């Protein structure tokens, strides 16, 4: 249920509504907008133990709340996901990602770049990619230490050694780190190194893993499943939010369609649609999305034009020698050439573009190089 307060409702009126909700054991989530305040209300916990399983609204309660001072209307949430929905939380969520140079705001005014190799392969490879990412204005380094592999014979990552290399690259460049966690048992270890947990497409519906990163409290990049509908994807985000972790970023990474000429089909529709349905930031991965280096730049530009809050791009110092996903990895100089074009599109659609030249906090950054 959502309680919409009147424009200009006072703090006292808001407190009155919150008290009425508390009396009934309901959980409020207050979203303060420029125009008006909306209170998303979760019902009591059901058998799952998380608040919201049971309906919050009864006709009596709706009438009572509507009669309180400052209340404009009381409405049911029409979607099966609640915390993730725009109805529940009309203001966009800005996820603060910790980094050695200050928090990075994802989902705010600026488009944020994440770049790095698909997989951590060696210190030399990772540092070369990290330095190139940093030099071109990325704020966040990607790199898998634990890799899902379609074939059991494929490279499955360096594991804990890879995490340590990511920590070194973080210290050397000041970039934040996003890296995949594949199993609930690894969440504690990966959390010692990651600034953002990546949940891979293949694990989007691994509900125990979603619960665990929800409890861990760090920002989460939730990839869309290979064959997941937008509703299933947002319900997966709901799992993380329901554990009390509000810092979820949704990542469109292409879905499986009948088309085999590309590895996946980037659902560009999903970018503006998800931003209408949800308040969570949307990131696009044009690398997994296309599977082809020659297409990555065009799709990245399209994603920014469509309103993406950030991109996650695979880059490699020697893409043809990459142990994983070389065909879709940009060479470092290709990435450097792409970034000014992304910045131009960001400007054209009224967005800023995060640079790595932040010294203290994301609000005190210098202008783009």
Provide the minimum distance between the beta carbon of 200 and ligand PEP in the complex, in angstroms, as a whole number.
3
What does the angle CA 83 – CA 89 – CA 90 come to, to the nearest 5 degrees? 150
Q: Is the dihedral of CA 166, 303, 201, 77 positive or negative?
A: positive
Edge-to-edge strands, sheet with 71-75: 27-32, 37-42, 2-5, 71-75
293's tokens: 């280096």
Instruction: Considering only residues 303 through 332, tell me which ones interact with Mn ion, judged by CB under 5 A.
Output: 325
Q: Taking the complex as a whole, how short is the minimal distance between the CB of residue 328 and Mn ion, in angstroms?
A: 7
Report the nearest approach of ligand PEP to the CB of residue 260 (Å). Answer: 16
Judged by CB under 6 A, the stretch of 76-84, 154-162, 200-208, 357-365 that binds ligand PEP is 200-208
For residue 70, is it left (φ>0), alpha (ψ between -120 and 50) or beta? left
214 near ligand PEP, rule: CB under 6 A: no
110, 128, 211 from 359: Cα distances, Å: 16, 22, 34
Q: Does 118 bind Mn ion (CB under 5 A)?
A: yes
Q: Is 299 in the site for Mn ion (CB under 5 A)?
A: no
Binding piece for Mn ion, criterion CB under 5 A, among 32-40, 111-119, 221-229, 268-276: 111-119
CA-wise closest residue to 19 among 58, 54, 71: 71
Partner in contact with 148, chosen from Mn ion, ligand PEP, none, beta carbon below 5 to 8 Å by kind: ligand PEP
Q: Which residues ranging from 132 to 161 are in contact with ligand PEP (CB under 6 A)?
A: 144, 148
Dist CA 275 CA 269 (whole Å)? 10
Residues 102-131, interacting with ligand PEP (CB under 6 A) = 118
Stretch that binds ligand PEP, among 39-47, 99-107, 198-206, 300-308 (CB under 6 A): 198-206
Question: Distance between CA atoms of 352 and 357, rounded to whole angstroms?
Answer: 14
Assess 288 for contact with ligand PEP (CB under 6 A).
yes
Options 134, 253, 279, 365; binder of ligand PEP; rule CB under 6 A: 253
For strands 282-284 and 310-316, give the pairing. parallel
Number of residues that bind Mn ion (CB under 5 A): 2
Residues near ligand PEP, by CB under 6 A: 118, 144, 148, 200-202, 223, 253, 285, 288
């Amino acid at each position: 249920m959502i309680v919409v307060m009147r424009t200009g409702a006072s703090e006292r009126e808001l407190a009155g509504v919150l008290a009425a909700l508390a009396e009934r054991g309901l959980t409020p989530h207050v979203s303060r907008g420029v125009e008006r305040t909306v209170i998303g209300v979760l019902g009591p916990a059901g058998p799952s133990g998380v608040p919201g399983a049971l309906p919050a609204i009864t006709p009596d309660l709706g009438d009572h709340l509507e009669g309180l001072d400052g209340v404009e209307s009381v409405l049911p949430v029409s979607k099966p996901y609640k915390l993730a929905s725009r109805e529940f939380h009309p203001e966009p969520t800005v996820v603060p990602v910790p980094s050695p140079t200050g928090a990075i705001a994802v989902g705010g005014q600026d488009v944020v770049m994440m770049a790095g190799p698909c997989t951590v392969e060696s210190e030399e490879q990772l540092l070369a990619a990290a330095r190139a990412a940093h030099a071109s204005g990325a704020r966040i380094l990607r790199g898998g230490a634990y890799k899902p592999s379609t074939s059991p014979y494929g490279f499955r990552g360096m594991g804990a050694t890879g995490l340590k290399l990511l920590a070194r690259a973080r210290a050397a460049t000041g970039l934040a780190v996003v890296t995949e966690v594949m199993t609930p048992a690894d969440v504690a270890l990966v959390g010692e190194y990651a600034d953002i947990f990546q949940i891979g497409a293949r694990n989007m519906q691994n509900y125990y893993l979603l619960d665990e990163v929800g409890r861990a409290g760090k920002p989460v990049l939730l990839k869309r499943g290979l064959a997941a509908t937008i509703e299933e994807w947002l319900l997966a985000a709901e799992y993380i939010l329901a554990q009390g972790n509000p810092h979820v970023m949704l990542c469109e990474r292409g879905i499986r369609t009948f088309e085999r000429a590309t590895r996946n089909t980037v659902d560009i529709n999903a970018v503006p649609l998800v931003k209408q349905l949800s308040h969570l930031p949307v990131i696009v991965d044009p690398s997994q999305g296309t599977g082809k280096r020659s297409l990555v730049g065009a799709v990245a530009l399209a994603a920014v034009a469509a309103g993406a809050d950030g991109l996650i791009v695979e880059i490699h110092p020697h893409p043809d020698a990459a142990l994983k996903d070389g065909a879709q990895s940009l060479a470092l100089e290709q990435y450097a050439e792409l970034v000014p074009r992304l910045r131009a599109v960001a400007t054209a659609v009224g967005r800023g573009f995060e640079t790595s030249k932040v010294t203290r906090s994301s609000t005190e950054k210098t202008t783009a190089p």
